[in-house]
Structures are given as C-alpha cells and as structure tokens.
Chains A and B, each alone.
Chain A
Amino acid sequence: MKIRHLVWLRRTLQGCFLLLFLYLVIESRLPQDVYIDYSLAFSGQQDLRLGQPVTFFFQLDPLVGLTSLLSGYTLVKGFVWAAGILVLTVLLGRVFCGFICPFGTVHHAVGTFKPALKGGRMLQANHKVPSQKVKYSILVLLSVAAVFGLNAAGLVDPIAFLFRSLALAVLPGLGTALRSLFEAMAASDIKFLNLASYAAEVIVSPVFGYNPPAYQTGWFIGLLFLVILFLNRIRPRFWCRTLCPLGALLGIFSRISILNLEKYAEKCTECNLCLKHCQGAASPRPDQEWEAAECLMCFNCQNVCPEDALAFRFAWRPARNHQADIGKRAVLTGLAAGISFPFLARLDGRIDKVSDPRLIRPPGALAETQFLELCQRCGLCMKACPTNVINPALAEAGIAGFWTPRLIMTLGYCEYTCTLCGSVCPTGAIREITAREKVEQPIKIGSAYIDRGRCLPWSGNAPCIVCQEVCPTSPKAIFLKEDVVVTADKKTLKVQLPYVDLKGCVGCGICENKCPVRGLPAIRTIAAGESRSLRNQILL
C-alpha cells in the first residue's frame, strides 16, 4: 500500500469513527417513535431498551477497562474490545489515537482545518517537550487512585470526556438555540416562517427531542470542552500529547511494537516538513530518535517527506527508543497524588460519615463505595434518561463524586417501570435491572416526606391530592386521610391530608416533580431508605 493511500485510509477511518461516535451519542435516548410490539407490551416481559450499542466506544477504551479492574475488580462488559485495542497497540503502536479515537479526531480536525501556528512557530510547537510527561503522571495518578478506591478516570478519559461534553453541553446547547429560533419564527407575522418552524421542529426532533434537557453544571462541561479545543492553538493536539491518560497508557503498551519508523539520515535535506506535520511531537526528523510512545501513527511524516528519508517498516526487533519517556518525577508525582487524593476526597465525610440527603442515585446503582469505584461520569445515563432527572452532581456526592449521576426531582422523576439507565451504563456502576425486579423487590432510591407547612391541604390553603394521584406504587405509598381544616377566613375546608407510607415509598420523586407548590415543592425526596445502602435507612 502506498503511503498516500494509508493516510487517506486513516482520514476515512477517523471520519467514520467520529461519525459513528456522534451517531451513538444521538442514539443514546428513547426515540420519539418508540413503539414496541403490542403483545410484548401486554405480557410485560420486555423492557424498553435502546436499539444501538451505545457503549461501544467505552468497551473499546482500555483505560475504562483498566481502572474498573483496578478499583472495582470488575471486567466491564465487552472488555474484549479493549483487550483487542491493547494487542493492536502492542503490535502497531498508538493506532487507536491516530485512526479511531473520536476525541483525537476532533483535535486533529481543529488543528488541521484552522492551524493557529505558521512556519517556524509550528516547528517550534512540534518539538517534543518535557510537559508531554504530564500525561504519564495523570495515568499513574488515576491508576493508583483507582487501586485505593477512587476511580476518577472518567473525568479525563477521552471517550468519557467527549461523550459528556457532547451529550450534556453541546447537544442541549444547540437544542436550546434551535428552540429559541423556532419560537421566534413561530411568533413572527410571516406565514412561511410559522409553517417552517413547526416543520423544522419535527425534522430536528430525532436529534434534539422536543424539549431540550437541562443539566446541572452543563455550562461548565461545555466551557471545559471549549478550553480543551482552544489548547490546539497553543500546540496541535495538545490534549493528546500532554494530557490524555489513555494516550499515555497506549504509549506504554507500544514499546515492543513491530511497526517502526525507519530513518535514512543520508537522504534528509532538513526541510522539516515531517516535523511540521507531526501530530504527536514524536521527533520524526531523521537526525532525532523517533519516540514511538509519542507517535500517534498518523503517517504524515512519511507522506510529506519529499526525499523518502522516512518509512514505516515492519521489523521484529523493536526500535531503540521505544520505551516511553516517562521520567521518575512524573511517576512519583502521580504516585503521591494518586495515594493522597482518594483519602483527601474522603475528608468531607460524604462516604464514611453521612451522605448528602439529596444524593439520590439512579435505580440499580451499586452501594456508594462500589459505585465510585466504577462510575466513569460519562453522562450516558443522563443522556438516556427520558425524564431528564439524572444530572451530573456538583457537591452532593462530595468531591470524589463530582459529575457522578444524581437525581434532581424538580427537573424530572424516575419512571416507575423504566430501567434504561442501568442498561446503558458502560461499567455496571448502575446495574442492569428489569422493570419486574425494580417493582417487585422493590428497588428503592430514596423516600419522600411531606413539608406540612407548605402542603396545600395541611396548611389549610386548598384541597389537593396530586402527590397521591401520581404515586405509581401499588398500594400507593402516599395515602390520604379526610379531615377538616380551618382556612384563613375562618371557614372550614374539607380536605384529604396526604401521608407517606415509608414502607411502600420507592423514592421515585414523581410526587415532588408534580407537586403544584412550585419552587420548593411541599413533598420532597431524600436518599434515605435507598436499597443500595445498609446504613442509610429509616425503618427497622
């Protein structure tokens, strides 16, 4: 195969994988036209599931597999794919970074279509720099922290990072923008625009839905995404070279790769074209030692070399400089941070002493310690949730649980027979459960309590039974007692006072969500009583 063709193959695959990734992000939701077979609906044997393998890229990701193994002693579903990537890396180097990684492709595209640096400054930026060791530090930190029970890999794992950014910031942001546009069109006096707004809403609904979701810290997720993209203006593929822990892991695994860059110094005219086009700052120039662990296998150097002074060749003996340039300091820094962070993160007492009452985890979530060992904070459950109740946590789960899923009942509620979040969790931090299990065990995520001072009938303001009406359990966990209250104008009012039966309450939060007392609802849900915890219980 000619090198030119190989480069085009790379570009094609990069494009395909990026498109596949985008497609899977978009497909991570119940489709607008989800119709299941009527007979199946009748028998109740089938749970609603997504049609596409939305966790595919997480299965491909060795960092997800490794940290889950180190912290949770768990082999994640589809880990064979990640193992395959490792084998591929051992043989061919970081081809994942060059050919597959959608986040890498995004950076590659940003740097290529709009290069920020010209001429000598680009050459300068493409020299290998010591700061490229930072990623090894991050990798060591994440692995060691994972061993000590804090799996924070998802914060910086490229797949989780990109998924979270797209699903929780980019798509909802675009959706909100489009919605404002459609609203403006619908409000205009031009008939054609009116018509177009309705049609356009239907056309974009498969991607954006009809109501753009809201996410706590969504703005921050989006801002961070923009910052990381902006870093490409300082150095091309800044993220991949300097920060990406997955790149570091694959770099380490590439040390015995049999695909080597052979250099023919005698042919080199020192035109520096190879250096100018190098994506990984891997020292491609024939007068330098090739850094296999930094090379993103983009094959640009060979492609642009006018003198054929560079060529990738299969050789059974590894090249001299295959060993990743990690450095003792990077390792020690990573170790020190990796050992201290898991314990520092527990100083707020959220794990050991008392958890935040608002920390309601999705149904099927493992007990908190195990949950934090596996959760990648990727946002898949949040994207898939049909009611938008699952949100990235800010401080509710402590610093260790930043961006882990947490239910905000004023934004949505947990549908009684919905088990979608567990079915899409890439690592099993949320177990895949069936609707039958959820209802019959039952799997409780918390419990509701009534704020009598705010409750309409309790406070003598009006009759209301909404919480009881919407309560999905049978028998209802909210029951009513008829009573007579005295209103402000000294009249008697016949009301039905709601009470919560803690035994039956599953904490789904629909009562809080539908409560007509806006702002702070008169019935609220707290995590106490959740099935996953032995300690966080109210009743004997």
Chain B
Amino acid sequence: MNFDKPVTRRESIKKLVKLWGGLSLAGAFTASVTAPVRAQTASADKKFLIEGIGQTDGYSVTELTRKVFERAGGVGRFISKGDVVVIKPNLSWARRPEMAATTNPEVLKAVVELCQEAGAKKVRIADNTINDARRCFALSGAGAIARSTGADLIHPRSSLMKNMNLKGRSLDTWPVFVPLVEADAVINLPVAKHHSLSSLTVGMKNWIGGVGGSRWSLHQDIHQSIVDLATFFQPTVTLIDAIRIMTRNGPSGGSTSYVTAKNTLILSNDPVAGDAQAALLFGRSPEKLGFIRLARDQGLGTSDFQTLAQQRVVL
C-alpha cells in the first residue's frame, strides 16, 4: 500500500464500504482492485414498465417477482457478474410486514436472491430508518432475510453519512448514506403507501431514507425535495412493492385495516412512470401529484405510459 499518496475522502469511503461488507460477512477481507464497472446502462436507454399481478389465490410472491424481472430481460440486464449491488427497501418503521409500512419481505428476499444468482459479488440492503434500525430490521423481516441469504444489512450510522452536494433545485449539501451511492447497481425497492403531506410515498420519496441530517425539514418543500433526491440517487431500476398497500394513516400506518391487497409489482427504469403507475392503484391521478408533475417537468421521466414499452405479467 502506498501511504504517501494522498487519498480523497470519497475514494477512501469507496474502499471502506467494500471492506466493511467483507468484515460483516465472515471477517474475510474482500479487497477489490478493479475499478467498478457500471452495469449496462443500455437499460436506461429503453424505458419500460412492467406490471406483475397475482390474480390466483395462493400465488407465490417470489414467483411473481422472478417473472417480472424475467419479462424485463432478466436481472442480468441490470447487474453484471461481480457487481456490488445495493437494494434500498423502505424499512422506515418498526412495524410488522402485514402493516404494509415496510417493503414486503418476500419481495425483498426474492430480489436479493435474483441478484445473487446473477453473479453479484455482494448484495447490500441499506436504509436509513426512522425508528431504531435494529427494531426495524427485526420486525420488518429484513434481518431474517439478510441472515438467510447472506446479504449485508447495513446499519445506518453517522460514519456512513457523508456530506455531498445534491445539486438540486431546493437541496444542496446534505449528508448522504454512502452505501447507496458507492455501488455498481442500485435497486430501489419501495412499498407503495399513503402519505399525509405528499399524498403518496412510492419510489422517488423512498430516497428520503437515503439521507441523514435534519431531514425532517425536507417536508417544508416536500415535492421539490423528493425530486431533488430522486435526481441525485437515480437507481438502476425501481421495483415497487404494491402487494399490500397502505391507503390511510400513512406513512407509518399501524393497523391492518388501512391495508389493501393489490397483489401488484411494478418494475420500471423510469422512476416517474413507476410512481405514476402506482398512483393509479390508489385511485389517484398522477397528474395531480406534485412530485410527479415536478419530476416530469424536470425531465426525470415520463408519466405518459404510452411512450413506454409496457408489459403485464399475470400469475
């Protein structure tokens, strides 16, 4: 190791996050020498939206998740062999999965396994939770999934928050949860929920869990904040979990009476289209949602489904 050469903080973080993952797994170091190769960004060129619906009783959520990715051309379209993949579920609340306040654990598990099968070198699950992270991980089922699949569940902490310039219209320098940016592929895995200020929290709003600091003040300009964050975090692909959706008392819910089964998954590489499609499940017109309008106007994506390659998987 060359100790004389100065290292930028960003470089060191990159190295360290890799090192951390290795340590947390089995104490084994997995030093990476090669520069990360971006997953085929070709997928970003051709916009698509795939809706998976489980119509038969007792359909398998795992199966549906796999089918949806298959229809998109397989996970290999987004992940190359040897990639470091980070999955950003919504694990904000220490609620049981049936409350639909957090990403469906079956979907999360299926996605982790798909990434591993596609040859990902490392699969990380990262979210800066609102309730105590340990309790969120335990109650949402994410902890059990990390244990059974061997994925790294990254405990949010201040040493992994680094100030970065988001270059947004409303947001500039914010502490960013680095595992979410130091990865070869990022899979956004939100759950679709009601939200009392932004109406809905789906894919783009999920990135509020990607920053730290005094993020509660983001609510003062919520729509622009959502769009700024979604612009900064641009995931490789977004899979929206609408197996169960929370229709009232969001985003934390707390009763199964607010939860409706929609048995739907929406996979898209267009963050705006995905959220717009999810809005329809709530009976909302996407055009009436501030953050979707703003995101569309800023060219983050489209809410006009006709322009997309749209497909549907029914199980």
Asked whether, in the complex, the Cβ of A35 is within 8 Å of the Cβ of B138, the reply is yes
Interface flag for A182 (CB, 8 Å): yes
Give the Cβ gap from A222 to chain B, nearest Cβ, in Å: 23
Contact partner, A186, options B24, B139, B159, B251, Cβ 8 Å: B159
Chain A contributes a number of interface residues (CB within 8 A of B) equal to 59
Chain A residue with Cβ nearest B130: A470
Interface flag for B146 (CB, 8 Å): yes
A423 to B44, CA, bound (A): 51
- Quick check: which of B112-120, B211-219, B278-286 contacts chain A, the rest being far away? B211-219
Which B residues lie within 8 Å of A415 (CB)?
94, 131-132, 135
Give the Cβ gap from A181 to chain B, nearest Cβ, in Å: 12
Asked whether, in the complex, the Cβ of A472 is within 8 Å of the Cβ of B137, the reply is no
Interface flag for B145 (CB, 8 Å): yes
Given the interface contacts A192-B3, A471-B252, does A35 sit within 8 Å of B137 by beta carbon? yes
A42 to B141, CA, bound (A): 8
A34 to B158, CA, bound (A): 20
Asked whether, in the complex, the Cβ of B143 is within 8 Å of the Cβ of A516, the reply is no
Chain A residue with Cβ nearest B256: A474
Asked whether, in the complex, the Cβ of A41 is within 8 Å of the Cβ of B134, the reply is no
Given the interface contacts A466-B219, A474-B255, does A202 sit within 8 Å of B135 by beta carbon? no
Interface flag for A194 (CB, 8 Å): yes
1/0 per residue, CB under 8 A from A, across B93-129: the answer is 1111110000001000000000000000000000000
Give the Cβ gap from A530 to chain B, nearest Cβ, in Å: 21
Asked whether, in the complex, the Cβ of B159 is within 8 Å of the Cβ of A198, the reply is yes
- Quick check: which of B11-19, B45-53, B62-70, B227-235 contacts chain A, the rest being far away? B11-19
Which A residues lie within 8 Å of B19 (CB)?
195, 198-199
Interface size on B, as a range, is: 35 or more
Asked whether, in the complex, the Cβ of A515 is within 8 Å of the Cβ of B253, the reply is no
Contact partner, A48, options B1, B98, B138, B197, Cβ 8 Å: B138
1/0 per residue, CB under 8 A from A, across B226-257: the answer is 00000000000000000000000101111101
Interface flag for B157 (CB, 8 Å): yes
Give the Cβ gap from A188 to chain B, nearest Cβ, in Å: 9
Give the Cβ gap from A513 to chain B, nearest Cβ, in Å: 10
Contact partner, B1, options A192, A211, A465, Cβ 8 Å: A192
Given the interface contacts A35-B137, A516-B219, does A475 sit within 8 Å of B23 by beta carbon? no
SS of B interface (majority): helix
Interface flag for A473 (CB, 8 Å): yes
Chain B residue with Cβ nearest A183: B159
Give the Cβ gap from A196 to chain B, nearest Cβ, in Å: 9
Give the Cβ gap from A520 to chain B, nearest Cβ, in Å: 15
SS of A interface (majority): loop
Given the interface contacts A191-B1, A472-B252, does A34 sit within 8 Å of B134 by beta carbon? yes
Asked whether, in the complex, the Cβ of A198 is within 8 Å of the Cβ of B252, the reply is no
Contact partner, A469, options B96, B144, B251, Cβ 8 Å: B251
Give the Cβ gap from B130 to chain A, nearest Cβ, in Å: 7
Contact partner, B254, options A182, A186, A187, A473, Cβ 8 Å: A473
- Quick check: which of A266-274, A399-407, A456-464 contacts chain B, the rest being far away? A456-464
Contact partner, B196, options A195, A387, A418, A469, Cβ 8 Å: A469
Chain A residue with Cβ nearest B141: A38
Given the interface contacts A190-B3, A415-B131, does A35 sit within 8 Å of B159 by beta carbon? no
A34 to B94, CA, bound (A): 13
Interface flag for A189 (CB, 8 Å): yes
Asked whether, in the complex, the Cβ of B20 is within 8 Å of the Cβ of A42, the reply is no
Interface flag for B299 (CB, 8 Å): no
1/0 per residue, CB under 8 A from B, across A419-432: the answer is 00000000000000
- Quick check: which of A25-33, A152-160, A340-348 contacts chain B, the rest being far away? A25-33
Which A residues lie within 8 Å of B140 (CB)?
41
Most buried by B among A194, A201, A211, A471: A194
* Besides A38-B141, A191-B12, 7 other A-B contacts (C-beta < 8 A): A34-B137, A44-B96, A197-B159, A202-B23, A417-B95, A472-B254, A473-B254
Q: What are 16 A-B residue pairs whose CB atoms fall within 8 Å in the complex?
A: A34-B134, A36-B138, A182-B159, A186-B12, A186-B159, A192-B1, A197-B16, A386-B132, A387-B132, A415-B94, A415-B132, A416-B94, A463-B222, A469-B252, A474-B254, A514-B216
